[in-house]
Amino acid sequence: MTKDLELRLVVEFPDIFRDYGGDMRTTCMHWGFSHDDGWFSLVRAYCQKLEAVRRATGIATVARQVKEKWGALVFYQDRYYPAEMPDVEKKHWEGILDDLENQLSDESRSTCEVCGERGAARQKGHWHKTVCPPDAALLGFSDPDQGEAEPHSP
């Protein structure tokens, strides 16, 4: 993702991205976000949900790594629960937060990583990427059961 978009997220969600640019020995956020711009809106909407949960419950989330993996968006994180929260309530919220994380991943599998339009899983050699048809053609990705895509001539 471009540095400009990364910084917009860091400024809007400073607690979630408190380790952005931090020491590479302690966080993968040292390298920033490892995906293209098309998923910016997905990450932002997810962080808005995490912030709403934090305001309602005190459960804090800190991003450890945000990246593309096998054509899907993954958001590795640590969660911090209030000390006074009963275990049964923690378990309840853990399930809700896990569901939100799964929804994020599912949404990314149908959203072009490059432009944010509707996309699908495509392949180029051993690389997987979720992209729309125009970006797939531009980047040389094809449907997994078809062969390699022919690159577009400008």
Provide the CA 152 distance to its chain's centre, in angstroms.
28
Nearest residue to 27 via CA among 16, 38, 19, 35: 19
Q: Is the pLDDT of residue 154 over 70?
A: no
Q: What is the reported pLDDT for 145?
A: 63
Q: Is the pLDDT of residue 9 over 60?
A: yes
**Structural contact between residues 108 and 39, judged by C-beta atoms closer than 8 angstroms:** yes
pLDDT tens, residue by residue, 79-115: 999 999 999 999 999 999 999 999 999 999 999 999 9
Q: What is the reported pLDDT for 150?
A: 46
Global confidence as pTM: 0.86
